[in-house]
Amino acid sequence: MNEEQYLTYVLQALYEEQASLNAAIEGKHTNIQQLQQYMNDYKAELDKFEVYDYEQTMRMLDQQGLQQVLRREEITKLIDSPYFGNFDFRYDGDDEAERFYIGRFGFRAPDDTTLIYDWRAPVCNMYYEFECGAAFYEAMEREFHGELTRKRQFKIEQSKLQYALDSSLTIQDEVLQQTLKAETSNKMKTIVTSIQREQNKIVRNVSANTLVIQGVAGSGKTAVALHRIAYFLYKFRDTLRPERIFILSPNQVFGDYISSVLPELGEQPIRSFTLDELTEQLLPASVSFTSFEAETKYMLQRPTSALTKRAAQKSDFAFLKTLQHFLAELDETMFTHEELTIAGVAFEPHYVQHRFLQYRSEPVETRLKLIVEDIIDVLKAKRDRGNIPSRTDILQRLKKRMRYTTPFSIYKQFLHTFDIPFLFKKKRFENNDVYPYLYVQHYMKGIKTYNMTQYFVLDEMQDYTPVQYAVLSKVFDCPRTIIGDFSQALLPYDTISKKAFEYLFRDLHYAELTTTYRSSYEIATYAKQFMRSGELHPIERHGKAPVERVYTSEAQMITFLKEALHSTHKTTAIICKTDAHVIQLHEALCDMPHTILDGTSKTFVHGVILTTIQYAKGLEFDAVIVPFVDATTYGSEFDRGLLYIAATRALHELTMLVSAKNCSPLLQLR
């Protein structure tokens, strides 16, 4: 049958399945209501075993009904767009090729014939991985070889076939081009219809325990990480649970922006958390801290401040190694060189020190308890009679010979030893001290661990320091995906590096994505001038060239800004560096509808958005306007990276409002 006939056949089967599910769901709802009514009518006559039996039956019906409701949602989505591609594969030794249709979800006919294959199925890897010719896939610990004789891509909307194209895997294919030309949505979209070969390799990589994805702006790295989760939930569906996946995202708006991807792929939504939310769970309740968000905002706008200098000293790889070395040496000198006599038995200093080092894989407090048990064993062996002191008494005797007994005293001594500044007022940490302190707390007392978490995902990796990663590796001892772009660092000092990653995670797999799909060729090429390092390869999707409008006064800049806002795009973002500029423009635009996106925002909205680089990062907009481009605002190499972030938010249009009198050197050096 031809493609139109096959679509009609599949749609008919989908409608029948939808009707069947509707009837089954309604039947279970009726059964539950009848059971509830029966229990209510005869509650005085039912014994506790009958009540329990009926309650179990209702729970079972409710769970079955929930699964059928979820499946009905998938079927409804498939009716709108059943599949997006197919391929013909002839197995070695066969005369005829077999055709496979690929969609967001799998679907079988009543006779158990597979009409649509889930994009995550092993056989569908060939669709993303191979062009026509020799191909293979792995399943059931075997390789199946043959020839890929044809590939097709479809666009089906509202159950109507828009087009069918014979295609190859080149990134310039028409389906990808049409996808990229679309306007933005208030939620991140799935990319199953346009996953590229290098992205597919990352999605299906199950051997990496820790996978770091370095991806340029617009490379799809966050979408890839989310599709990787969906793939893992499919492949390991008997053991991996959505509620046991932990996503660490930069802010609440970004968390909302990515929240629809997994549900669109048929998986349960996974709530993301910010670093500040996690930190609240890790720090003792007796202390407080300046939020990561607030401290980042302050340093972003004051990159030469005293706070920035304090934070910079604790941010790099050398600081972590210094701290680790200090704690290793402390192991050797933790106890004073005094003999310990308990119940008449003398314990030489080297005995306690030796036992302490024997247990060095444990926190100090655990080690002390183990030493207490060792001492009690010795006392029992040497004393035939008489009382042996309590464990608490022995523990207190040991602590009196320790140089430090709290994480805080150790951390203060460490900073003092290396002349590193430290501010701690009213039991409140600066954020730059939180994770170094937590690292010491882990050494001394241990730290809360998320043992139930089966998979950990961290976005915006470049804004975390090595010591933060060292703590997170203890908190989340499970497979990890870490994603980001070194060229999009928000902090005005060095943080993590590939070298540090390799030191922290011995089993590291490192992947790079250098092709950008977000911005037009013209915008991406323009933005390359602001990259700090690395390569960026734009695809051949052409559009309007970026515009640099030169103003001679701020009044003229406001005029240019208002002119640029008269567009038909769904989203236009005005991206500033500082809050002060946001407030200034908010007042200037009082006669024009717009929304401020900041730390209090919960969701991503359409329209004109006024925000800072800090909150725009990770998002994308149809049009972007960058005001106040002058030497005062953007004059340093750090500012070059900020302009890279701002410019690469744009999909279709980019306008730079540039000062004529105080021209930024970052533009002059182009």
Residue 80 main-chain phi, psi, to 5 deg: -65, -45
CB 229 within 8 A of CB 267: yes
Distances (CA, A) of 503 to 99, 307, 464, 466, 509: 47, 28, 15, 10, 12
The token pair that represents 54 in the structure block: 């009926």
Distances (CA, A) of 320 to 310, 380, 432: 15, 43, 13
CA atoms within 13 A on the CB side of 413: 14
CB 75 within 8 A of CB 17: yes
Q: How many angstroms separate the CA atoms of 65 and 57, rounded?
A: 12
Packing angle, helices 292-301 and 579-588, rounded to 10: 80
Please give the helix or strand (H or E) that residue 383 lies within, else none.
Answer: none
Where is the binding site for ATP, in residues?
Answer: 215-222
CB 84 within 8 A of CB 102: yes
The angle formed by the CA atoms of residues 567, 572 and 577, to the nearest 5 degrees, is 135
- CB-based burial of residue 309 (10 Å sphere; 0-12 exposed, 13-18 middle, 19+ buried)? middle
Please give the helix or strand (H or E) that residue 353 lies within, else none.
Answer: helix 349-358
Q: How many angstroms separate the CA atoms of 528 and 648, rounded?
A: 9
Residue type, 289: F
CB 620 within 8 A of CB 186: no
- Burial per residue of 76-99, b for 16 or more beta-carbon CB atoms within 10 angstroms, e otherwise: ebbbebbbbbbbbbeeeeeeebee
CB 317 within 8 A of CB 499: yes
Packing angle, helices 364-382 and 431-444, rounded to 10: 20
Residue type, 267: E
CB 647 within 8 A of CB 523: yes
For tokens 């009848």, the residue is 34
Q: Where in 198-339 does DSSP place strands (E)?
A: 210-215, 245-248, 272-273, 288-289
The token pair that represents 131 in the structure block: 């062009």
Distances (CA, A) of 234 to 53, 239, 393: 33, 10, 55
- Provide the terminal-to-terminal Cα distance of the chain, rounded to the nearest Å: 58
Where is the binding site, in residues?
Answer: 215-222
The token pair that represents 145 in the structure block: 């070889």
Pairing of strands 428-429, 424-425: antiparallel
Q: How many angstroms separate the CA atoms of 496 and 44, rounded?
A: 67
Please give the helix or strand (H or E) that residue 508 lies within, else none.
Answer: strand 508-513
Picking from 290, 244, 283, 287, the residue whose alpha carbon sits closest to that of residue 267 is 244
Q: Is 162 left (phi over 0), alpha (psi -120 to 50) or beta?
A: alpha
Most distant CA pair in the chain, distance:
95
The token pair that represents 84 in the structure block: 């997006």
Picking from 473, 494, 460, 482, the residue whose alpha carbon sits closest to that of residue 250 is 460
Q: How many angstroms separate the CA atoms of 442 and 429, rounded?
A: 17
